[in-house]
Amino acid sequence: MALSDAIQLVDVARKATEAYGRPDLTAKLARTRDRLSDPSVRVLVVGEFKQGKSLLVNSLVSASVCPVDDDVATAVPTMVRHAAAPTAALVREPADGGEPERTEIPIGELAGHVSESGNPDNRQRISYAEVGLPRALLAGGLVLVDTPGVGGLGSAHGAATMAALAGADAVVLVSDAAQEYTKPELDFLATAMQVCPNVVAVLTKTDLYPAWRRIADLDRGHLAAAGVSTELIPISSAVRQLALRTKNKELNEESGYPVLISHLRDRVLGQAEQLARRSTGHDILSVCEQLTTTMSAELTAQENPEKAHELVARLEKARTAATRLKERTARWQVTLNDAIADLSSDVDHDLRDRLRTVMREAETLAEDADPADIWDQLAKWVQHQVTCAASANFVWASERSGALARRVAALFAEDGQVALPELPVATAGPAPRVAALERPDTRRISLGEAALTGMRGGYGGALMFFMPLSLIPGLAIAAPFAAVGGALLLGRKQIKEERQRALQRRQAEAKTLVRKHIDEVQFQVGKDSRDLLRRTHRTLRDHFTALADEMQTSIAESVAAAQGAVKATQAERGTRIGDLKVELDRVASLADRARALTAAS
Amino acid sequence: MSAPEGGSPALRDAVRTVLRQAVETYRDSPDALRWLRHHLDRYDEPLRLAIAGKVKAGKSTLLNALVGEAIAPTDAGECTRVVTWYQDGHAPAVTMYPHSGAPRPLRIARDDGALRIDMGVPAETVDRLEVTWPSASLRATTLIDTPGIASLSLDVSARSERFLAPEDAPSAADAVLYLMRHLHSADVRFLESFHDQGVARAAPVNTVAVLSRADEVGVGRVDALRSARVIAARYRADETLRAFCQTVVPVAGLLAVTGRTMRQDEYAALAELAAMPPDRLDALLLTVDRFAGADGDAGTALSTAVRAALLERFGMFGLRLSTTLIRQGVGDASTLAAELVQRSGLVELREVLASQFSQRRDVLKARSALIALDLVLRREPRPAAAPLAVEVERILAGAHEFAELRLLSDLRGRVLRPPKEQAAEAERLIGGDGGAPNQRLGLPPDADRDALRAAALDRLTAWRRRAESPLASRAMANAARVVVRSCEGILAGLH
């Protein structure tokens, strides 16, 4: 594994912390090691349906794991990751937020569960499927996620995809060479860039369309016009498949896949590795600094015992500062607590606001029509709007939490004074963990989905769809044809009045149902986002408190060591100085290696 | 098809009369007068069929296929930017109608068959283009090419929407052919795309959906069209979709237009390709780059230019299909051309257009005209117009054709929900599958008069019983009465 050198270095550093009797630092490095040993890099394969997403994943891993069909095929997201032997499992996340349930299945049966034909509209309610394959490409930690294209990018699926994006390390946007980018695709891309900036555009089916070079140029133009700086890689899955079957190297080159693979390997995996290295380097460096603090304090005291008191006084001051950092009144603590409270109410308000708009519109819609005719559409529309609202709310909340983490980190560094290494927050410290709110969120989406049984919606259009239909019963301007019918209805006023009462009852019922649904969603989503923020709060607090603890321990030990130095005899002092210098050299060389790790990437 | 089939002279005359009376009544209102005159003229014009759909759905290609000539310009990028009318006429001419100012004739240049129209002004300032072209295919129907929806240039989309669903007036098209590429049944956006279009205003009775670019469904495999048919059948069965259009037909536009315009030299080139050793040909037809690649490594005597031209005309799918057909024994250009047209689905589409639109031409035209008149009556009510309103209502209520259309719309839109079999039969009897007696009765075209009569009588009795059943709701009884009258109409037509 490419990160083995980083893991080795962490182990060395851990031994050192054990030797110097600093269990707090040992624990910290243990966490670093855990993070390193799970180097998953999630790459989301997204795009409109029938663009060749599943075939792309299949061709990448040279196995037929995702179902491919002339008709719409993929119904359930499929995660393809590395495993020693081929495995497949279905994961269902219960609607009430309990433990996900995992069912191992033979890999051959996978298609029956994840395809639209075997599992129409995902009636089996599978959250996602997991496939393990022994492939060199995946061994580096690459996880490919094939997403259903159903519904298009603007639909509820698109919204759910957007939420999943927040936790993805990279996005592959798949579009075929039949036509240039459409507006929904570019809109999606623009939003995606805000959540996950690592996007690579892939142009598929270049074997089929003579004008693919023109389309590629047009697409590049659209990307540039949208301010998206990403590569556009043209590929042909058909050629790649043939190359795999015939083991023909030239054909493989021709398919364009090697370019995509090297991009995934160098840019996506490489970048993730780089981040992992950098954060590991920072962790080790921070440990080294803590160790050095103690030792160099002692060394100073040993070398100049007469100045020891002065040193102790300075250290005491630093200790007070470090202790203050741990207190609840420390600036970063206050900021964190206040900001979390603010954020919590902001996020809640934002959600309420969004949902209230949906409700108001839904009520207007229900008033304008006979719910008996339009309920299906209305329900779909509400469902979709709610999903979109929850998604947008989530994306916004995660952006704000990221900003908060950075602000707290800056305050901490300012007050901490102790030469902290560049805080890991910006790389792989708490911030990315905070950003990893995506998992609860996908569950949150599925919660909403469960509430309105298995309905799917499409934005805008559902509304538009709904409006003209809603006009058919009475108003003469709806459809030209309805106008004709409307003229006829004039003579039937009486019947209309008779029916009026029943209609009003239906409308009231529909409104109650919508309100109930939105209430429920608000309750669930609100609870989830409060939980998320609480987790964010706890993560940040624990992280910085632990840092303050480390600092305090280091300084306390420095004080003890400096005080001890005064009592020592001349001879003892000479030996101790020699020892300390050697130890400091050792730590310095460890720090050098950590720095090299950071720089090497 | 014969003129009286589905045509209704009585209705036609009644509508024309009421329009003329309206012109008299509104003689002093210039706006209303212009509007009514326009619709009176339009009433005698050919049926206007708009071809709508998302960007790059293949609208211009299909238009060319229907005309049988590659006149509408097509391109890999977004191409049609202005609503363009194609109508029959003695001599080719192009007229530009700017938003402001007088119409202006444009010079015609032909670029390898397709018209190259240089408007000389920005597309935003142009209301529409009118292309007059001598063509038998345009004689009965004026075709209208529209810019794609979901186009990246918002303005282009907007121009289409304005045309198909003007804010305050009936649509300028009598019928709509809605083109879509492969979509998902459970997908609401699917329907939404209709509405994005504003085609929502088109009732299901005047819309036919086309699964376009059907050859691309199977990513260029030779059996792609079979898959396309399966998918189209699934769409046809989809209840939500039925509320929006009459039926769904898969069409491979490029194949159709090429089939209709194939030249002998193209056939010769294809035959030469088909004569290559199979593995060499397969390698050549693997990718577009290989096929249109440099002369040296292609393994065929055909020059790069010839191959590139073939590729443009046939597409990968067309090339694979044509060479396969030639190998299977198709021996000459006309057989191959006919085979391509047959397989493209164009024949089926034309049959559907004939049964759904051409036979109902009068009804659709009358409908457009009455809606236009209704608009004037509502906008500028005046005492003198009162008899007109009564007359409009009389026509609407009296003409059985409208009753049929209305019932059809209700059944499709699921406003009425009779048991499934009854619904299907009612739709058929009121002309949902076509207006000919055998189509209405679900009998083969060669059914003799006695068989037709027997079947019609049988259905008449059955529906009369339903109409009189005390258990039927009022709406259902009314519906059944409409069906009864249709059955009587069939019988009367049989003498």
Look at residue A102 and give its three-state secondary structure.
strand
Look at residue B260 and give its three-state secondary structure.
helix
Average pLDDT over residues A494-506: 68
B329 or B247: which leads in pLDDT = B329
Average pLDDT over residues B110-116: 71
Nearest to A70 among B151, B217, B396 (CB): B217
Average pLDDT over residues B344-370: 82
**pLDDT on residue B327:** 92
Residue B104 to residue B95: CA distance in whole angstroms:
6
**pLDDT on residue B188:** 41
- Cβ-defined contact of A207 to B316 (cutoff 8 Å): yes
B295: which 2 tokens?
A: 């002369």
- Percentage of chain A beyond pLDDT 70 is 77
A242–chain B Cβ distance below 8 A for any pair: yes
Name the burial class of residue B82, with classes exposed (0-12), middle (13-18) and buried (19+) by CB atoms within 10 angstroms of its CB. Answer: buried
Residue A560 has pLDDT above 70, yes or no: yes
Residue A491 has pLDDT above 90, yes or no: no
Q: Assign B325 a pLDDT band (cuts: 50, 70, 90).
A: very high
Q: Assign B162 a pLDDT band (cuts: 50, 70, 90).
A: low
Average pLDDT over residues A305-328: 79
Range with the largest mean pLDDT of A414-423, A440-449, A496-505, B425-434: B425-434
Q: Which residues of B touch A487 (CB under 8 A)?
A: 374, 392-393, 396
B239: which 2 tokens?
A: 């209840």
Look at residue A85 and give its three-state secondary structure.
coil
**pLDDT on residue B265:** 92
A376 or A504: which leads in pLDDT = A504
A567–chain B Cβ distance below 8 A for any pair: no
Centroid of chain to Cα B185: 21
The total of other beta-carbon atoms located within 10 Å of residue B77's CB is 14
Helices B253-260 & B59-67, crossing angle to 10 degrees?
30
CB B168 within 8 A of CB A437: no
DSSP string, B271-301: HHHHTS-HHHHHHHTS-HHHHTS-STTT-SS
Chain A segment 247-266 residues within 8 A of B by beta carbon are 254
Residue A430 has pLDDT above 50, yes or no: no
* DSSP 8-state secondary structure symbol assigned to residue A144: E
Q: Assign A471 a pLDDT band (cuts: 50, 70, 90).
A: very low
- Encoded amino acid at B294, one letter: A
Triad A206, A208, A213: Cα angle to 5°: 40
- Cβ-defined contact of B200 to A70 (cutoff 8 Å): no
Distances from the Cα of A511 to the Cαs of A378, A455, A466, in angstroms?
A: 10, 18, 15
What is the average pLDDT score of chain A?
74
Residue B352 has pLDDT above 90, yes or no: no
Bridge-based pairing state of the strands A78-82 and A41-46: unpaired
Q: Left if phi > 0, otherwise alpha if psi is -120 to 50, otherwise beta: which for B315? A: left
Q: Which residues are CB-contacts of B187 (< 8 A; sequence separation ≥ 6)?
A: A150, A151, A152, A155, A456, A458
CB environment A61-71: b (16+ within 10 A), e (fewer):
bbbbbbbbebb
**pLDDT on residue A416:** 57
Residue B27 has pLDDT above 60, yes or no: yes
Average pLDDT over residues A162-175: 75
Q: What is the ipTM of this complex?
A: 0.71
Average pLDDT over residues A161-174: 73
Residue of A2, A161, A15, A137 whose CA lies nearest to A74 = A161
Range with the largest mean pLDDT of A209-223, A496-510, B141-155: A209-223
**pLDDT on residue A125:** 76
Least confident of A129-138, A332-341, A530-539, B14-23: A530-539
Average pLDDT over residues A443-472: 23
B453–chain A Cβ distance below 8 A for any pair: no
Bridge-based pairing state of the strands B84-88 and B126-133: parallel
Average pLDDT over residues A581-601: 84
Residue of A369, A356, A391, A377 whose CA lies nearest to A457 = A377
Please state the φ and ψ torsions of residue B352, each to the nearest 5 degrees: -65, -45
Residue A483 to residue A479: CA distance in whole angstroms:
6
Least confident of A278-292, A447-461, B88-102, B460-474: A447-461
Residue A157 has pLDDT above 60, yes or no: no
pTM of the predicted protein model: 0.70
- Encoded amino acid at A368, one letter: D
Which residues are A105's β-sheet partners? A88
**pLDDT on residue B103:** 87
Which residues are B93's β-sheet partners? B132
Chain A segment 178-237 residues within 8 A of B by beta carbon are 178-184, 186, 205-212, 214-215, 218, 222, 236
Range with the largest mean pLDDT of B71-85, B372-386, B459-473: B459-473
B466: which 2 tokens?
A: 């339903």
Centroid of chain to Cα B474: 35
Residue B371 has pLDDT above 70, yes or no: yes
Average pLDDT over residues B108-122: 74
Look at residue B172 and give its three-state secondary structure.
coil
Name the burial class of residue A394, with classes exposed (0-12), middle (13-18) and buried (19+) by CB atoms within 10 angstroms of its CB. Answer: buried
Q: Assign A273 a pLDDT band (cuts: 50, 70, 90).
A: confident
Least confident of A25-34, A46-55, B291-300: B291-300
**pLDDT on residue B47:** 85
Q: Which residues of A touch B170 (CB under 8 A)?
A: 480
Q: Which residues of B touch A206 (CB under 8 A)?
A: 287-289
Average pLDDT over residues A48-53: 82
CB A72 within 8 A of CB A92: no
Residue B101 to residue B98: CA distance in whole angstroms:
6
Q: Assign B9 a pLDDT band (cuts: 50, 70, 90).
A: confident
Look at residue A397 and give its three-state secondary structure.
helix
**pLDDT on residue A258:** 93
Residue A95 has pLDDT above 70, yes or no: no
Residue of B63, B67, B131 whose CA lies nearest to B96 = B131
Chain B segment 135-194 residues within 8 A of A by beta carbon are 150-152, 154, 157, 170-171, 181-184, 186-194
Q: Which residues of A touch B258 (CB under 8 A)?
A: none
**pLDDT on residue B320:** 92
**pLDDT on residue A595:** 85
B276 or B238: which leads in pLDDT = B276
State the smallest CA–CA distance between residue A191 and chain B in angstroms: 16
Residue B361 to residue A251: CA distance in whole angstroms:
55
- Encoded amino acid at B118, one letter: D
Triad A156, A159, A165: Cα angle to 5°: 145
DSSP string, B25-79: HTTT-HHHHHHHHHHHHHHHSPEEEEEEEBTTSSHHHHHHHHHTS--S---SS--
Range with the largest mean pLDDT of A319-328, B123-132, B204-213: B123-132
Average pLDDT over residues A60-77: 80
State the smallest CA–CA distance between residue B353 and chain A in angstroms: 19
Look at residue B445 and give its three-state secondary structure.
coil
Triad A405, A410, A415: Cα angle to 5°: 125
**pLDDT on residue B24:** 87
Q: Which residues are CB-contacts of A243 (< 8 A; sequence separation ≥ 6)?
A: A249, A251, A252, A254, A255
Residue of A237, A252, A244 whose CA lies nearest to A204 = A237
DSSP string, A426-471: GTTSHHHHHHTTHHHHHHHHHHHHHHTTT---BTTHHHHHHHHHHH
State the smallest CA–CA distance between residue A530 and chain B in angstroms: 32
Domains of chain B: 48-255+346-358 (3.40.50.300), 262-331 (no CATH), 416-494 (no CATH)
Q: Which residues of B touch A53 (CB under 8 A)?
A: none
- Encoded amino acid at A372, one letter: A
Q: Left if phi > 0, otherwise alpha if psi is -120 to 50, otherwise beta: which for B219? A: left
**pLDDT on residue A149:** 67
B400–chain A Cβ distance below 8 A for any pair: no
Average pLDDT over residues B352-356: 81
Average pLDDT over residues A223-252: 89
- Cβ-defined contact of A152 to B402 (cutoff 8 Å): no
What is the average pLDDT score of chain B?
80
**pLDDT on residue A87:** 92
Average pLDDT over residues A25-37: 83
- Element holding A78 (H helix, E strand): strand A78-82
CB B11 within 8 A of CB B137: no
Residue of A541, A540, A553 whose CA lies nearest to A322 = A553
B407 or A61: which leads in pLDDT = A61
Q: Assign B195 a pLDDT band (cuts: 50, 70, 90).
A: very low
The residue written with tokens 């002093």 in the block is: B28
Least confident of B4-18, B132-146, B282-296, B353-367: B4-18
A279 or B443: which leads in pLDDT = B443
Range with the largest mean pLDDT of A73-87, A549-563, B138-152, B446-460: B446-460
Average pLDDT over residues A475-487: 30
**pLDDT on residue B116:** 75
Residue of A247, A444, A286 whose CA lies nearest to A351 = A444
**pLDDT on residue B30:** 84
Q: Assign B184 a pLDDT band (cuts: 50, 70, 90).
A: very low
**pLDDT on residue B339:** 92
**pLDDT on residue A28:** 82
Q: Which residues of A touch B234 (CB under 8 A)?
A: 71
Distances from the Cα of B299 to the Cαs of A137, A600, B148, B276, B279, in angstroms?
A: 36, 50, 40, 9, 11
Residue A388 to residue A163: CA distance in whole angstroms:
10
B186: which 2 tokens?
A: 């459970």
The residue written with tokens 């009644």 in the block is: B14
Q: Assign B186 a pLDDT band (cuts: 50, 70, 90).
A: very low
State the smallest CA–CA distance between residue B396 and chain A in angstroms: 7
Residue A119 to residue A424: CA distance in whole angstroms:
44
- Element holding A89 (H helix, E strand): strand A87-92
Q: Assign A220 a pLDDT band (cuts: 50, 70, 90).
A: very high
Residue B1 has pLDDT above 70, yes or no: no
- Cβ-defined contact of A468 to B201 (cutoff 8 Å): yes
Q: Assign A169 a pLDDT band (cuts: 50, 70, 90).
A: confident
**pLDDT on residue A478:** 27
Distances from the Cα of B260 to the Cαs of B62, B67, B116, B346, in angstroms?
A: 12, 9, 21, 10
Average pLDDT over residues A180-188: 78
